[in-house]
Each structure stands twice: as structure tokens, then as C-alpha cells.
A and B are shown apart, each in its own frame.
Chain A
């Protein structure tokens, strides 16, 4: 217990790493806040173009893991390898009083000045407006947009530097099912262009529906990695219901 399930992890690696190796890989990552251990020896990988769901109860350490993967936070121990990783924060990190275009332009300029992209900011904004399908609302204040559209703008900013891996922290929180679906159409459209996506969620259905692989974290430990079917098989609940399997799995591992 406390390690990623080796068999499934290997199976996955044997498929992807033969081609070009994982786009992002973390090994034995630990992080404590004060006396509280938020992460303990977690391994995590994302292959090129792969969609991985990071699932676990609130406080499990998902945000902490993603921010370490993004290079925003330093782990206490363990290592992270990966280039071209972009991170999209949990809540829309946008200025609500600025318009969609102004928000995009600000971050395009900052990314340009920081050397993350060479594209002229103006062109970048036009491209992102097209990508998000928000061209008609470019002049509207972000605060007046729906949560789903705000999240699109939020994600678009993460895409400006054309990352190999996009890390999304609970991207669909607070969205209704329709908004959620449109958001995923948008995100999976990106995957079609070769971008790998790792997203956190505490919704097992969302994980099954949109991710190729599911990684379960609980209380700072990685306890499972594999497909939804493998998670169902890992515990025998007899019902075939993924949510029950997930909860049973957590219980079996003492969470």
C-alpha cells in the first residue's frame, strides 16, 4: 500500500514509453506543510497526448501534486522531469473587471516578455479567441461570462505557450452538466492536436468519461493507477458501479 499499483503502471509504460518516453514524470514526491504531510512518496506519469485523471477526496493532495508537477511549488523530496508543462489553476485566475481580450492580452504580453512564447501578443490573442470560440464575447468583462466560458479563458491562457502537457486543477468544478460537456469538447479538441492533459477531479464519472487512465490519491499517497475497468476489477463489489468500486477501494486501503 502507498505505492502506485505496479502492474498497471508498467502496462501503461510499456505502451507509451517505447515511443518517446513520458512527457512528464515524477518520482517519490513528498511535501509537508508545517507538521502535516500533504504528499508522501508519490509517483506520477503522463505520456505524450495522454489524458490522465487524478482523483481523490478533498484534501488528498491533488492540488499540491499538480503545482509541484508544474514547477510552482518545490517538493521536499523526489524529482520531477518534464518540459513544456503548463498549469491552469483551480479557480479561474482572471481579472473579472477586464474583458476577455484584455485578460488574454495581459497574459500574452507577460508570457512574451518572460520568453515563454515568441508569438506577437496580438496574434496570440486572436488565436486564443478563435480556439475558445469566444471571439464574439471578446469585449465582455470576464465577470459577466458563465463559469464554463471563464474556465475556457482560464485554460486558453495556459495554452498560449503551446505546452506538451496541460495540467488542469479541477477544471469543471461549479459547472452544470451542459457547461461541463462543452468544456470537455474544448479540452479533448486540444488533445487531438497532441497536447497531453492531466486533470484533477473528485468526480469518478468525469474521470471515467474523459480520461484514458485514472490515478487515485488519498491522504497524500498514490494508491492506484490504471483504467476504469482495472479499478472495477481491483475490488469486487459485484455491482460493476465505478463509484462503489472507488469508495470500496479507498476503504480497503484504509481511507
Chain B
């Protein structure tokens, strides 16, 4: 069997065009897919639940901001669905009706008002996203960030007007209330006048009261400067988002993108190589000679699966490590992702062998490989909530019967997610490898 494997590697080395295509094609496809995935032209739907009391105008610094205005700002960038409660909004996200929910809490108004006071509190909105879909939740993150910055811009304008009033107070003096106590602020301009007068009087005697007022101003001025700190923070980002994820854990977009790229390359390299190379045995007429007492059909099959596993594993690891230089992958988890690639390579190879055995011709095998791999892989990438339940079932069955989805899950889990699911993915791939090998063996009977 090792001689068969050696022979196939020699043939592969002699086929520079095939070798180049085998590597270039998957990389190009993978890049296109990665690019397409990160671009999302559609409007995101966001469930909005507004718990703020309807009749609480947000007036500060003489300017009015009301809840509707904030909502309009939020809903400028996305399609808003109104929800009746926090639970309702969360359900909409879980069911996929909305990609995210934004919850405006009851005390949001008070907190926004407090921004203009001496004791500012950070207003927070809650954002609920479905974590089980990497692409959408990342896209939604971007959208919500954009929404919040719109709302924040509006508040920042109002707050800077409020800050101006404080600056006026410090400059010109006046009255304002702190903890129910009316305080008189002297103001820098008056202080200057008083100090000028004191200048004349000090040698002659002391005017205790005026001196005390100057001292009190000094203290207040310090307090006012302290106030400027939190106030400025509030201006840069008045509303903070408190993000909650519902649904299963999903890999980050980076991990997902390199996972898709790597598994795409792995799929094309192994399926095309094994299907083509097995069909070549028939085309070169060598199969009959090999099976005429030299080797068994099973040995030929295993040699082909071995070839695909070795070459596919090599190409995928090189690609992943190359991508890892840009994106950063966890080298400590290498055993996990290497195993994912290994099991994936074996499953794809077995699938390729079944295809090659059925097609019996290099061209037909190659064409069939592309025509089957591409749609099935793309189908596996369709988000669950993008389709109805019936189609969703079909997609999940097709995805489970083909190694792409389990290999992608195994790789992204291996790269990032902890837990036992990665072992289930390995098992899934091993079962597929065995099943496709059995299919290939049956097809070789009438090869």
C-alpha cells in the first residue's frame, strides 16, 4: 500500500498545473467566501423595548430631549420592532425574528438627567444578541455601536450645553442647588473684583466676611473642577451598552473566518485530489492490473484516503498557520485544531473516494466534486434563523451528512471554544469517514 501512496505523490509532484489549481482554487474561493460573509447589505432587525415612563421629559441645561427622539436616533440605522417586555424582546432574538434587542431601562431617563448634575451616573441600555451566529452577531454589534454613537452624539450636544452653563457659573457667579441647599457661587469675575478691593484693605485691617467668601469660592472652584472629569467622560460616551448573549457560544468572527477559509481549502484539496486520483486509476487502465492479484480494492481505497489525508492535512495546516500569523491563533490549543484538521481530512478524503469511484472519470469526478462541494458548503453556512423551520431541517440534515459543517465546527471549537463538543465533532467526522469509505468500497465493485 505504501508503494501506491508513494506513486500517487510522485504523480502529484509531476502535475504542477493540477497542484497549483488544487491550492490556488480553494484559497481564492475561501477568500471570496470570507469577503462575502463579512459584507452584509441587509437591514438588521432590532427588537426595541422602551421601559422609560412616557411622561418623563429629559430636560437639562434648558434643552429638551425626549425618549422618542432617542428612539428615533436608535432606529435610524436599523429596522426596529417594538417589544412589550424584556422577555418578549429576548424571545424575538432567540427565535431569530430579530438579530438583537435593545432595552431602554426604566431609569434611563433619570440617569441621562444625572449627567447634567454634579453627581452623574452612567446611563446604560441593554443589548441582547443571539450568540450562536457569529456573522450576524458581529454585524449586529457594529450596527448597535453605530446606533449608540448616534444617540450619544445627540446627548453629547445637549451635555456640552449643560457644561457651558457650569462654566458660565464659574465665570460669572450665581446660584445653584446642591443636596437641597442653595449655594451662591461667586464666580471668577467677582472674585477678581473682591481680591482687588482686599488688596487695598489688607494693610488697613481685615474684612473677615469677604475673606471667608473668597476662601469658600476656592473650595467650590476645586469641586467644580472635580466635576469636569466625570462630565467629560459622560460627554465622550454618555450611554453605555450592557451586552447579553443568548443562545450557544459561537466563535469570534476572526476564528470563524479562518475556520471557513481553512476548511474550504481542506475540502477542495482533498475531495478533488482523491476523487481525481481514484478516477485516474480507472482512466489509466491501471485499476484492473492492480486488482489482478496485486492488491485488493480495499487497499487501493485506503491508499487513496491516506493520500488525501496526508496532502489535505499538510495544505490546511500550512494555510491555518499562515492565517494565524495575521489573526493570532492559540498555539497552546494546537493538538485540538490539528486533530480537527486530521479528522476533517480523513472524512473529506473518504467522500472524495466515494465520488471518484462513482464517477470513474477524472473530468466527471472533478466536475462532480465542485458541483457537490460548493453548494453543500455554502448551505452549511446559511444561518439557522435566515430560513423557515422546514428548510432549516433540510439544511441541518444535509450539513450533517457532509463533512464541511462538522469539520468547521471541530476547527472553530478547537481554536477557541472549550467544552466537550469538539470530541463529538471528531466522532461525527470519524463516522462520516467510515460511511463514505464503505460507500466508496461498494462503488468500486463495478469500477
Contact = CB atoms under 8 A, between A and B. Distances in A.
B179 interface: no
A111 interface: yes
B54 to A, nearest CB: 79
A164 to B, nearest CB: 15
Interface string B282-301: 00111011111111000000
A93 B3 contact: no
B281 to A, nearest CB: 9
A32 interface: no
A89 B284 CA distance: 11
Interface stretch (A42-50, A95-103, A229-237): A95-103
A98 B10 contact: yes
B155 to A, nearest CB: 71
A110 B296 CA distance: 11
A96 B284 contact: yes
Contacts of B10: 97-98, 102
A72 B285 contact: no
Given A94-B284, A96-B284, A106 B292 contact: no
Contact of B285 (A87, A93, A106, A114): A93
Given A91-B285, A106-B3, A110-B3, A97 B292 contact: no
A93 B288 contact: yes
Contacts of B294: 107, 110-111, 114, 116
A200 B428 CA distance: 51
B11 interface: yes
Contact of B14 (A93, A111, A113, A141): A141
Given A89-B285, A91-B285, A113 B292 contact: no
A95 B283 CA distance: 10
B222 interface: no
A98 B14 contact: yes
Given A70-B292, A109-B3, A97 B15 contact: yes
Contacts of B292: 70-72, 87
Interface size class of B (residues with CB under 8 A): 10 to 19
Contacts of A107: 289, 294
Nearest to B292: A72
A157 B289 contact: yes
A191 interface: no
B67 to A, nearest CB: 74
B311 to A, nearest CB: 16
Contacts of B291: 72
A203 B14 CA distance: 37
A145 interface: no
Contacts of B7: 95, 98, 102, 106
B17 to A, nearest CB: 11
A195 B295 CA distance: 25
Nearest to B293: A114
A188 interface: no
A230 B292 CA distance: 36
Interface centre among A72, A91, A97, A116 (most CB of B within 10 A): A97
A92 interface: yes
Contacts of B285: 89-94
A69 to B, nearest CB: 12
Interface residues of A, number: 25
Nearest to B18: A97
Contacts of A157: 289
B270 to A, nearest CB: 20
B287 to A, nearest CB: 8
Counting chain A CB atoms within 10 Å of each CB, the highest count among B285, B286, B293, B294 belongs to B293
A195 B291 CA distance: 23
A94 B3 CA distance: 15
B294 to A, nearest CB: 4
Nearest to A96: B284
A129 to B, nearest CB: 18
Interface in A60-101: 70-72, 87, 89-98
Given A95-B11, A102-B10, A114 B284 contact: no
Nearest to B289: A93
Contacts of A141: 14
Interface string A106-135: 110111011010000000000000000000
A106 B294 CA distance: 11
A94 B284 CA distance: 6
B399 to A, nearest CB: 36
Contact of B286 (A72, A95, A109): A95
A94 B293 CA distance: 16
Best-buried of A72, A93, A107 by chain B (most CB within 10 Å)? A93
A83 B135 CA distance: 67
Contacts of A93: 284-286, 288-289
Given A71-B293, A106-B3, A97 B14 contact: yes
Nearest to A91: B285
A184 B86 CA distance: 91
Contacts of A102: 7, 10
A119 to B, nearest CB: 15
Contacts of B288: 72, 89, 93
Interface string B1-30: 001100100110011000000000000000
Nearest to B12: A97
Nearest to B287: A93
Contacts of B286: 93-95
Contacts of A72: 288, 291-292
A109 to B, nearest CB: 5
A201 to B, nearest CB: 18
Nearest to B3: A109
Contact of B293 (A90, A95, A98, A116): A116
Interface of B: 3-4, 7, 10-11, 14-15, 284-286, 288-295
Given A89-B288, A114-B294, 5 more contacts: A87-B292, A95-B7, A97-B10, A97-B15, A107-B294
11 contacts: A72-B292, A93-B288, A95-B11, A96-B284, A97-B15, A98-B7, A98-B11, A106-B7, A110-B3, A110-B290, A114-B293
The 10 lowest CB-CB distance pairs between A and B, nearest first, are: A93-B289, A93-B285, A97-B14, A110-B294, A91-B285, A109-B3, A72-B292, A93-B286, A97-B11, A114-B294
